[in-house]
Structure 1
Amino acid sequence: MAKEYGFYVFMDPHQDVWSRFSGGSGAPLWTWYACGIDPRSFSTTQAAVVHNTYPDPATFPKMIWSTNYTRLACQTIFTLFWGGKEYAPKAIIDGQNISDYLQGHYIAACKHLAKRIHEAGDLEHDCIIGWETVNEPHRGLISVQDLTAYPAQQKLHKGTSPTPWQAMLTGSGRACEIDTYDFGSFGPYKTGRELVDPEGMTMWLSKDYDDTKYGWKRDPEWKLGECIWAQHGVWDASTDTLLKKDYFGKSPQTGEVLDYEGYTNLFFMQHYRKYKEAIRSVFKDCFMLLQPPVLEIPPTIKGTDDDDPLMIFATHYYDGLTLITKHWNRLYNVDVFGVMRGKYLAPAFALKVGETAIRNCLRDQLEAIRKEGLEKMGIHPCLFTEIGIPYDMDDKKAYKTGDYGSQILAMDANHYALEGSGASGFTLWTYVGTTPSISSRPSGTSAELRATPGYRAAEAFVRPSPLKTNGSVQKYGFDLKSCTFTLSLEAEKPTVEDQPTEIYLPEFHFPITRIKVEVSGGKWTISTDEECGAAVQRLRWWHGEGEQNIKIEGVKRKAGAYGEGSADSDDYGYLDQCRELASCSIM
């Protein structure tokens, strides 16, 4: 279907906090057992906070799932995945270190899928053009210098927030008083302390667990029922004494200190090379989308053998304040990326006041991310493979009222930032016209779907964009408020007849009878072409060489007013026409 409708697809081996059993998605259940971990104990030990095992699932705190990255289950399994040979040499299964075992199965699974796609014969390159590295890789404990303190880079705290040392203790059944946090308009703040008492239950598989269920053979030196880190001398389980608080902050073999970038440049890149080799052995010359850890400094590979001309810098960005609070704050926001890169003498200077400043701040952050990729990785396209907003803002108010004003403003701000950043593209995470559910759709129709069937806040994400340019794009953007698209480019030579600059003009904003165009020179036409079973409205522009500019104005309307007009009114437009087709879905 993707090929039929002209989509280009890249494969995303997706995970969040390792697996669904630790509050996210990704790896299968057996990976926990292979690592000597019992996921049934996560709730009691708080090694992970999971919705369906939460004491009262109806009150599960919003966005707390992402704190699982800094709880013991994920800290352990990610450390074993990336650095098991260095930090857990006793963890041998089927004659391999757990790191090789996990990575080997992961890469083999991806390669198998690549082979099946290749064997299909009509998808490779024509539709599926690239493969991304594992989604949002996390370092686990690698490069943490002090297990008794929060790592300096840990910016998210919500609910109980244990230090790595406290997490090891509660994961082994010991009671600990742990600081608690909430997330407010200015970030996380401490709310108190909570006694976490697992009453002797541990995160570790019992010593009598039957490994034959999965058919693997565990080395006798790897003892079940005991903390893997205690087995490697990090702490003494008989006295609950921490012995090596900097165990993960250096190489256990050489003693060389491992800085924060060391994880990416060493462990992540070692894995990337193996993954790339496996995929390219099947998908010859496909694009490889290298995704470093979120908002972290990319690997320093510019000018090296890893500086692959068919590599894309894949990165993610979310407006953290909006994402965590699930509210679009028009008064202020924070330059989070600037703070992380030491741009300000104090975090207070990173505060941006007013909606214009907020929008510009988002744009500047995305541009800084793109430029950092150029500096560290070399000249590669920058693709934001995740960016977006939470639709369930303000306790899902829009679902009841049909007023998506906040979502429109937030989504438009994100698109404004993308257009101004110079990025090569993005994939939106996530937009669907209906609310996804693991269960069957209820028999009734929700208020959300009755109010805006299939196109929530569409005016913000249905936007014009350049499709082909005869020259290099200097800047472009769409001003939703005035419904105006502008494009500036630099052309080395005049356009020829069969190679004009092409701009996609969605009828949503640009009904054919209501378009005004201004150009610096040349001629233009607008036509609607049938493409992959859909009607696509394009502006084609033949222009001269040098600096060229175009301005296109559409129908300016009040936010959220789409679909309220009639055929005889000035506001009659694309959605009105579509609504006349009762069985039509807006995509």
Structure 2
Amino acid sequence: MSLPSRQDKGNIGTSHSNFLSPADDPADPPVAHLLRGVNWSSTAKFPSFPPRESSHPTTRKERDELRTYKTGVHTGIGEEEGRFWSEAEEGGRDGWFVGRPIEEDAADLHLTRLKAWGFNTIRYLIPWEALEHAGPGQYDEMYIDYTIRLLRKCKEHGFRVFISPHQDVFSRFMSGSGAPYWVLEAFGINPRNIHQTGAALVHACWDKEGYGGTEGIEAAKDGDEWPDMIWNTNLHRLASRHCFTMFFASDVFAPKCKIDGVPVGQWAQDHYTAAYGHLADRVRDAGGLLDNCVIGWDSMNEPDQGFIGMEVLEDIPESQDFRKGPSPTPIQGFQLGIGWSVSDVAYDDFGSLGHKKKGKVTISPAEGKGVWLTRDEAKDAQRRWGWQWSEEWNFWDENGRGGCPWAGHDVWRPSDGIVLQNGYFNPGHQGSDFINNFWKRQHASYVTRIRKAHPNGIAFINPPIFANPPDLSEQVKSGHMALSAHFYDGLTMLGKRRHRFNADAVGIQRKTKGFLSALKLGPSSIRDGLRDQFGELKSDSSKQDGIAADSAGKREYPTLIGELGTPFDMKKSGLLGLAKGSSQWGDYKEATRAMDDLLNGCDGDNALSYTLWVYEPLNSHSRGDGWNGEDLSLFSYDDCDGDDDLVADNPPDLKTLITLGSRGIQSWCRPYPVEMTGMLGYFSFDMNTTRFELEIEMPSLEGSRLWRGEREKQDISADGEMTSVGFVKIYLPFIHYLGSSTVGKENNRVIGSPQRDGAEWEKGQGKAIVDLEIEEISEGKLVVNGQWGLWTYPMQKTGDRKLTLRIKKWGGV
């Protein structure tokens, strides 16, 4: 029996906790899908450099230099090297983000590799800046044209795509990504002064300016190296807090701040929504991409509440338990924001055992310049971008300086730095539930606009990290919705090493567990704890007081983990995982184990879809993914020796395509059920033994809630015998199940046939085939073609049953 050649013409639906599509035969039950893939990619967050004249590098050094150039304005590139501020002030250029997330002429190669790795889904990153960098309402059609061409490539290779309107800590001008330069100016900020005022730590400024060369902060830094995972602490500094508060809630907390007669937050939201709506219109009008390639649209990536809900401004909020580097209190941030020199700023670190105080530092903004636009700078911004601030937006002193909107709303007093209204942002002030009162309304507006172009598009819900998603209106859900929560193992990410202990971060964040009950000791406990945390995130999709509620009672939506991954520049661990040790490139044993721990958590009865962070072909050992020192890419040309980077670009065989340049492949290139008739109950994979176990819950044709209503189309025999054949399509990677022999007649052995193109695993060494031992198969038959298995079994009119398959590599452990 050959593998089914399904056309996947139907829309992907979201019900009964599954991604579902119609079968080829309308009389057959719908097909459930597991979506697994990657995020495309870290460099999607940055503009590209101007194209170089056509050149053909002849040496490895020249090729590496060209790849570095193609990385573009990564987070370590400043004004001198990459015109970090000035080009953005000019509005960028047409096609500024063309080549993001991936070079068009290399797309076929990379998509072929991803497909060979078993992936079927891409989370496609598109920051707001890429669409509308030239100014309000001015869209980069050249970039959108490029995006449409790349989406067509994804479709040709059989990938499903959902678009991520991507941001991190609001904008790349605070070492994040997302909003264009002009939005920061619209909110009153001078981006050039963000780093020197401590309003954010900007990677591009770290070893160049410090905080204006001040004493104290320079002494507190451990050399000039950009610290691991410090960028996300910018969420708790002035620039990010201010921008998120203005974007989501200026009408409540900054009513004097209007542009063209509209609350500035609403004005910005309208532009954001219109930009992605325009993109959706263009993708629709291109034809043939919606539904069978582009299946949906994520909500804003990892939104933050800014100041909303904050109760005390003189203290570091309790929720800010992760602190690294200088940690100004909110009022210290306001003082620094108008150019004050501020002493007694807490300086912290976060290690294996949690928060560590390292003393106090003084931050002195250079020349006493604040982060807010001066009166003259504000007038220049109005002329340049074509908007008009309201007359009430007049917070400057007699010299045209100051300009803090929060002083202008009497939250604090600049003359002496005193807080005037400590409860201004707290929940008692006109209702400050961020998710329900502010995030929810923004998301509803965005989804409504997207659905004008893409009525069947899945609304992927990406709430704030580990937060419970709210109940949403049926108009927003529209029967097409999925959760897209994110998860990273915090200790592994921060310390870049595996530990012998860990904690249930989701339980702690949600206050369902105390520290002792959340503590996990030992490898087995840690793995069980990760699976529990993924299970908790998955449960959000079926909570009746959340998104599962509807007027008829309850819905169950699927969950896809939109981001998860682990660093590949990990350090070796010693006693209790505390000793740093040394790390060597190419030795990815620790990273492989850490990734296996994570993905094991997604398996089991969680059976989760996910998109890994990240596939970044421009990764290098020297700068990682090009993103604030992170190094999570599954692939790197720097892991190709000598001239092997050329071989990776023109792979002569499957082994080269699949393995060369890959990192930790044994952990993430793993078997899973791709699509199936029936309900996925449980599956697991042991990376060491290659044992794969799968359970399918097979409802009767008569009783299944999945396909009830379709049965009148099916010819069911009177005696209830088999009337049709159910199936599971299983990815069985060569990396784990490659066979060494084509001979064998054992009853419990399955030798696959070569894949259709007949490609060899290793040039001159014969066709690539899978060789399996079946330890258990409850009923039906398994056949294998290439890396794809097909397990078929009967469907019956009556009698629900559980089907079991257990396999491992032939001759394996």
> Which category of TM-score, normalised to the shorter sequence, fits these structures?
0.7 to 0.9
Aligned to 2:631: none
Amino acid at match of 1:506: P
Q: CA deviation at 1:335?
A: 1.1
Q: Does 1:236 align with 2:413?
A: yes
Distance 1:399 1:502 in 2: 39
Q: Does 1:392 align with 2:569?
A: yes
Q: CA deviation at 1:454?
A: 2.1
Distance 2:449 2:476 in 1: 15
Deviations 1:164-188 (CA, angstroms, capped at 9, x unpaired): 1111111111222211111110222
- Kept after mapping to 2: 8 A contact 1:7/1:127: yes
- Kept after mapping to 1: 8 A contact 2:347/2:360: yes
Aligned to 1:537: 788
Aligned to 2:178: 26
Aligned to 2:802: 547
- Kept after mapping to 1: 8 A contact 2:197/2:364: yes
Alignment counterpart, residue 521 of structure 1, candidates 774, 778, 785: 778
Aligned to 1:358: 526
Aligned to 2:734: 507
- Kept after mapping to 2: 8 A contact 1:400/1:448: no
Amino acid at match of 2:416: T
Aligned to 2:425: 248
Aligned to 1:312: 482
Aligned to 1:344: 513
- Kept after mapping to 2: 8 A contact 1:338/1:350: yes
SS of 2:155's equivalent? Answer: coil
Deviations 1:250-293 (CA, angstroms, capped at 9, x unpaired): 46xxx4453xxx11011011001100110001111211111111
Q: Does 1:150 align with 2:316?
A: yes
Q: CA deviation at 1:539?
A: 3.0
SS of 2:374's equivalent? Answer: coil
SS of 2:662's equivalent? Answer: coil
Distance 1:171 1:137 in 2: 23
Deviations 1:378-420 (CA, angstroms, capped at 9, x unpaired): 1211110111111222299998442110111011111100113
SS of 2:681's equivalent? Answer: strand
Q: CA deviation at 1:151?
A: 2.4
Alignment counterpart, residue 586 of structure 2, candidates 402, 413, 429: 402
Alignment counterpart, residue 130 of structure 1, candidates 275, 281, 296: 296
SS of 2:251's equivalent? Answer: helix
Amino acid at match of 2:289: L
Alignment counterpart, residue 272 of structure 2, candidates 93, 99, 106: 106
Q: CA deviation at 1:149?
A: 2.1
Question: Greater CA deviation, 133-142 or 290-299?
Answer: 290-299
Q: CA deviation at 1:361?
A: 0.7
SS of 1:44's equivalent? Answer: coil
Distance 1:447 1:216 in 2: 47
Amino acid at match of 1:270: R
Aligned to 2:639: 448
Distance 1:557 1:29 in 2: 56
Deviations 1:527-574 (CA, angstroms, capped at 9, x unpaired): 31xxxxxx542232325751211101026889xxxxxxxxxxxxxxxx
- Kept after mapping to 1: 8 A contact 2:168/2:177: yes
Distance 1:470 1:283 in 2: 27
Amino acid at match of 1:328: R
- 1:40-189 → structure 2 map (5 Å cutoff): 40-56=192-208, 58-176=224-342, 177-189=344-356
Amino acid at match of 1:213: R
SS of 2:436's equivalent? Answer: helix
Aligned to 2:744: none
Amino acid at match of 1:415: L
Relative distance call for 1:492 and 1:2 in structure 2 (3 A) is same
- Kept after mapping to 1: 8 A contact 2:166/2:178: yes
Deviations 1:403-462 (CA, angstroms, capped at 9, x unpaired): 1101110111111001136254000011346516669xxxxx975322973211111011
Distance 1:399 1:134 in 2: 36
Question: Greater CA deviation, 485-494 or 30-39?
Answer: 485-494
Aligned to 1:267: 438
Relative distance call for 1:242 and 1:108 in structure 2 (3 A) is same
SS of 2:466's equivalent? Answer: coil
- Kept after mapping to 2: 8 A contact 1:367/1:423: no
Alignment counterpart, residue 371 of structure 1, candidates 535, 539, 564: 539
Distance 1:492 1:377 in 2: 26
SS of 1:154's equivalent? Answer: coil
Relative distance call for 1:421 and 1:206 in structure 2 (3 A) is farther
- 1:179-328 → structure 2 map (5 Å cutoff): 179-198=346-365, 200-209=368-377, 210=380, 211-223=382-394, 225=401, 226-250=403-427, 255-256=429-430, 258=432, 262-301=433-472, 306-328=476-498
- Kept after mapping to 2: 8 A contact 1:11/1:130: yes
Aligned to 2:606: 422
Amino acid at match of 2:518: A
Q: CA deviation at 1:503?
A: 1.7
- Kept after mapping to 1: 8 A contact 2:605/2:681: no
- Kept after mapping to 2: 8 A contact 1:465/1:503: yes
Distance 1:527 1:420 in 2: 23
Distance 1:426 1:273 in 2: 24
- Kept after mapping to 1: 8 A contact 2:607/2:680: no
Amino acid at match of 1:208: D
- Kept after mapping to 2: 8 A contact 1:84/1:98: yes
Distance 1:421 1:227 in 2: 52
Deviations 1:196-255 (CA, angstroms, capped at 9, x unpaired): 12252211011111120111111121125410100001011122211001111146xxx4
Relative distance call for 1:291 and 1:150 in structure 2 (3 A) is same
- Kept after mapping to 1: 8 A contact 2:592/2:664: yes
Q: CA deviation at 1:80?
A: 0.2
Q: CA deviation at 1:350?
A: 2.0
SS of 2:154's equivalent? Answer: coil
Distance 1:432 1:142 in 2: 35
Distance 2:528 2:246 in 1: 41
Aligned to 1:463: 670
Amino acid at match of 1:63: M
Amino acid at match of 1:148: E
Structure 1 residue runs without a partner (length 5+): 440-444, 529-534, 559-587
Relative distance call for 1:549 and 1:276 in structure 2 (3 A) is same
Aligned to 2:162: 10
Amino acid at match of 2:610: F
Relative distance call for 1:182 and 1:548 in structure 2 (3 A) is same
Amino acid at match of 1:539: L
Quote the sequence identity (%). 33
Amino acid at match of 1:267: F
Amino acid at match of 1:227: C
Greater RCO, CA 8 A, separation 6+: 2
Distance 2:729 2:637 in 1: 40
Structure 2 residue runs without a partner (length 5+): 1-152, 211-223, 549-555, 573-579, 628-635, 645-658, 701-720, 740-750, 752-770
Question: Greater CA deviation, 290-299 or 131-140?
Answer: 290-299
SS of 2:453's equivalent? Answer: coil
Distance 1:425 1:446 in 2: 28
TM-score after normalising by structure 2:
0.63
